[in-house]
Structure 1
Amino acid sequence: MPAMPHTQRDHLRAMVAQHGIVRAQELRKAGIAGTTIQRALEDGELVRIGRGLYQDSRSDIDTDQTLAEVAKRVPKGVIAMISALAFHGLTDQMPRRVWVAIGPSDWSPVPAYPPTRIVRFTEKYLRQGTEHHKIAGVDVPIYSAAKTLADLFRNGRLVDRSVAVEGLRAAIEQRKATPAQIAEAARSGGAWRIMRPYLEALTFNG
């Protein structure tokens, strides 16, 4: 059984080692004083990666780290839409904001950093197709490739249709999801009527 941390600094190190990225609020709830955090920053042991977000200075920087930061700031959210599409490598677009889906009555935070685009899904759509990926030590919920495509086609007013079509083509070419999986996600995700002609054209002509 591992020894329990004795000092606030030990406790701070243990929390950072366990969670990868920690929020100031989490540290305060754990009884770690602001002076302890400040000393760790001054000593170069801890780095501030955003307002109220901290990480071990020795940690490798993940290219998807902003997704982990948003997951910490929006704990009920799921990385969605173009951000999920980019995570799966299905678009060349680099979204300027992180798209995150929350429920219809969930609190909507407005973090200054990273820039965030909140979309609200009904409970039915919010819970479908969620995967969990470890990024910078953080468990980040991200919609699957097939689910993401369904969301893009269903929400044509939020994202240009060409983005959804290119993502669909890339998913088939890269085999990130089979046509059957994509069709099933579209049916359950309320997008089959819109997506069907595109999927059939790409499948039959591919």
Structure 2
Amino acid sequence: MASEILRQIKERFGNQPFRVRDAVDAGIRRHLLYRLRDEGLLLTISRGVMQPADSEPAMYNEFAALAARAPHATICLNSGLSYWDLSDELPAAIDLAVARGAHWPKIDTPATRLHRFAAATFALDRLRQHTDAGEAFWIYSAERCIVDAMRLQRIAGRDVVLSALQRYMRGDNADPLRLTELARRLGGAAQMTRALEVILA
């Protein structure tokens, strides 16, 4: 019985994190999911999110767990800077953006910091990325992470932002025009222009 339920789960979700609600909607009884968890065949990786225990641990699997719990949320700010290798900081909590006015589920684990971004520009430079195990999550581009961190320095930290901007500008794909364009659309254009002038001087 357990192996049959596990087979159904893997047919539907593969080895990726899945919401208990989605499994129940697919016809799998809730009590059977918890039985598989108690038998060590499923792992609870966040509230209401499970994954087969034999799944390979993936880099950034916490991002994938959050994507399963909050599919429309987006990794941002310091967590995004770290992902794009623009910061050596390991944030104590994952920075997660939701569109202002959108529903936000309660998330206990992994630790998160919620940020509400304007709905009109929420999708701007939002990218779908994958863990090394193929699990999908949303994250802002490196440029958007820098611009958001610049305009929200009180949250991201001024030193973190300036270091990230310097590291970005040393990279082969640096695009200062894209940074200023994003800053114009999102806010903080004057700050970004001044910072770029100092770095490029």
Same fold (TM over 0.5): yes
In the alignment, which of 67, 87, 94 is matched to residue 91 of structure 1?
A: 87
* Paired residue type of 2:106: V
Structure 2 CA distance for aligned equivalents of residues 100 and 92 of structure 1 = 18
Task: Show the counterpart of 1:157.
Answer: 154
Paired residues of 2:45 and 2:109 also in contact (CA < 8 A):
no
Structure 2 CA distance for aligned equivalents of residues 139 and 188 of structure 1 = 27
* Paired residue type of 2:22: E
* Paired residue type of 1:166: S
- Whether 1:36 and 2:38 are equivalent positions in the alignment is no
SS class of match (1:120): strand
- Whether 1:27 and 2:26 are equivalent positions in the alignment is no
Structure 1 CA distance for aligned equivalents of residues 117 and 28 of structure 2 = 36
* Paired residue type of 1:77: A
SS class of match (1:158): helix
Structure 2 CA distance for aligned equivalents of residues 167 and 82 of structure 1 = 10
SS class of match (2:80): helix
Paired residues of 1:103 and 1:120 also in contact (CA < 8 A):
yes
Structure 2 CA distance for aligned equivalents of residues 112 and 131 of structure 1 = 25
Task: Show the counterpart of 1:180.
Answer: 177
In the alignment, which of 190, 198, 201 is matched to residue 187 of structure 2?
A: 190
* Paired residue type of 1:22: F
| Per-residue deviation, 1:45 | 3.6
Deviations 1:135-155 (A, max 9, x none): 243321100000111111111
Task: Show the counterpart of 1:138.
Answer: 135
* Paired residue type of 2:193: R
Paired residues of 2:5 and 2:28 also in contact (CA < 8 A):
yes
Paired residues of 1:90 and 1:171 also in contact (CA < 8 A):
yes
SS class of match (1:54): strand
| Per-residue deviation, 1:166 | 0.8
SS class of match (1:157): helix
| Per-residue deviation, 1:43 | 5.1
- Whether 1:169 and 2:176 are equivalent positions in the alignment is no
Unaligned 5+ residue runs, structure 1? Answer: 1-6
Task: Summarize the Cα distance change of 1:61–1:10 in structure 2 as closer, same or farther, 3 Å threshold.
Answer: closer
| Per-residue deviation, 1:195 | 1.2
Deviations 1:76-100 (A, max 9, x none): 2111111111110111111111111
Structure 1 CA distance for aligned equivalents of residues 94 and 7 of structure 2 = 33
- Whether 1:61 and 2:37 are equivalent positions in the alignment is no
Task: Summarize the Cα distance change of 1:38–1:104 in structure 2 as closer, same or farther, 3 Å threshold.
Answer: closer
TM-score (norm 2): 0.88
Which aligned runs of 4 or more in structure 1 are off by greater than 6 angstroms? none
In the alignment, which of 101, 106, 121 is matched to residue 105 of structure 1?
A: 101
TM-score (norm 1): 0.86
* Paired residue type of 2:116: R
Identity %: 25
Structure 1 CA distance for aligned equivalents of residues 13 and 71 of structure 2 = 17
Task: Show the counterpart of 2:69.
Answer: 73
SS class of match (1:60): coil
Paired residues of 2:87 and 2:164 also in contact (CA < 8 A):
yes
Paired residues of 2:45 and 2:51 also in contact (CA < 8 A):
yes
